[in-house]
Amino acid sequence: MGKLFLNKVVKSYGHFEVIKGVSLEIQEGEFVVFVGPSGCGKSTLLRMIAGLDDTTGGDIVIDDVRVNDKPPVERGIAMVFQSYALYPHMTVFENIAFPLRVEKLPEATIREKVEAVAKILQLDQRLEQRPGMLSGGQRQRVAIGRAIVREPNIFLFDEPLSNLDAALRADMRIELVKLHSDLKATMIYVTHDQIEAMTMADRIVVLNAGHIAQVGAPLELYHKPQNLFVAGFIGNPKMNFVPVRCVSAGPEGVTVAYGDQQVTLPVVPHGEMVGRTLTLGIRPEHTSLSDGDLNITVMPGVIERLGINTVAYATLPTGEAYCALLPGSAPIVTDEPMTTGVMAADCHLFDESGLAFERKIDWRTQRLPASAAAE
Ligand code: ADP
Ligand code: MG
């Protein structure tokens, strides 16, 4: 149990539509991350699934039952928020036991369940302490314990790690992934942080202004973003966007011109192509100081030396920002032009409306399919 189906779900506040018809199917046991910028509707969608906010239109179906009119307690879900709202005067044990006390379970059952949960979350030595004595990470684990103890079919997490420092966030990410594999429950996790999405999700749902921009496995979104929004949101540092002009198109791909250079990209053309102004997408990690299929001269501004890599924040001659991720010892200097090479197979191409041309490359193998390579 723990299947979720959203059918054209809409949420409006007055005339303001916040969720604009979201349809999505989540399978039992999946770890799905909703990711998108602040204000795109992640919390609203999660609160509607939980039953904390009512739904303006569409259906929310949990385990084949439409739950739009059911109160939260009858939905078999538990929610963990960013601010973990523990009861400061209660011990860790009592905080975790709280929902079971509300259900009026026998004392022995409560003790057994709380101790089992505390063990999973490594809180078994802390049960008699109060939240004030715990670190932020431990407190968040208590809040998660309070959710787990109810044995819900679906867990909903709303940015649960945002209040923690970076090192603790990284640890908690790993703990949550382990917890998911132990409990095998369905988890829906909301975050604005694409790194959390990439590292934790079986599938990512990218939300943009109340719409689903794309749904897919993390590497599918990374290698085959369907639009400029997803391309810019997934990946760090962000993908570069360079204006180019289409000079020809055919079965071998689309040939674009950048200045006096031309490069043929292995993407599938559609419609009349020649003469159009398109957007070439280049990930910073696909740039190098060696010769590529396309070589772009840029002016580096800020250069960050991270040890393993160098990040160069540069500008194109036409003024757009251009970031290059280079080896740690890359011999580059601020305000001295550098030429970065990129390979055609690594590039992305978008039309005037921001839609991606389909890449022929197989995102699982990173190769061109045999048929495309032979062309
Ligand atoms: P996210 O969690 O992605 O940051 P939210 O779901 O909290 O975004 O909010 C989505 C949009 O809905 C925002 O523009 C927000 O201002 C609006 N919104 C949220 N709650 C209310 C409310 N109670 N009344 C009016 N507008 C709201
Ligand atoms: Mg939110």
pTM score, whole prediction? 0.92
Instruction: Give per-residue pLDDT as tens, 274-299.
Output: 999 999 999 999 999 999 999 999 99
Q: What is the mean pLDDT of residues 215-227?
A: 96
Specify the residue with its C-alpha closest to ligand 1, atom 16.
39
How many CA atoms are closer than 13 Å to the CA of 295, on its beta-carbon side? 7
CB 213 within 8 Å of CB 230: yes
Q: Which of 89, 19, 96 is nearest to 54 (CA)?
A: 19
Residues 308-350: tens digit of each pLDDT = 999 999 999 999 999 999 999 999 999 999 999 999 999 999 9
User: Average pLDDT, whole number, for the chain?
Assistant: 94
Buried b (16+ CB within 10 A) or exposed e, 173-206: bebbeebbeeeebbbbbbbbbbebbbebbebbbb
Specify the DSSP element, H or E, that contains 349. strand 348-350
Centre of ligand 1 to C-alpha 210, Å, is 10
Best probe residue, ligand 1, of 11, 13, 162, 192 (max atoms within 8 Å of C-beta) = 13
Residues with beta carbon < 5 A to ion ligand 2?
43
Nearest CA to ligand 1 atom 12: 18
Q: What is the mean pLDDT of residues 99-112?
A: 94
213 close to 227: Cβ distance less than 8 angstroms: yes
Cα–Cα dist 330/300, whole Å = 12
**Terminal Cα distance for the chain, rounded:** 48
Q: Which residues line ligand 1 (CB under 6 A)?
A: 13, 18, 36, 38-44
- What is the 12 CA–ligand 1 centroid distance (Å)? 10
Q: pLDDT digit string (tens) for 133-169?
A: 998 888 988 999 999 898 899 999 999 888 888 888 8
The three-point CA angle 233-237-241 to 5° equals 70
The secondary structure of residue 142, as a DSSP letter, is H
Rounded to the nearest angstrom, the distance between the alpha carbon of 226 and the centre of ligand 2 is 24
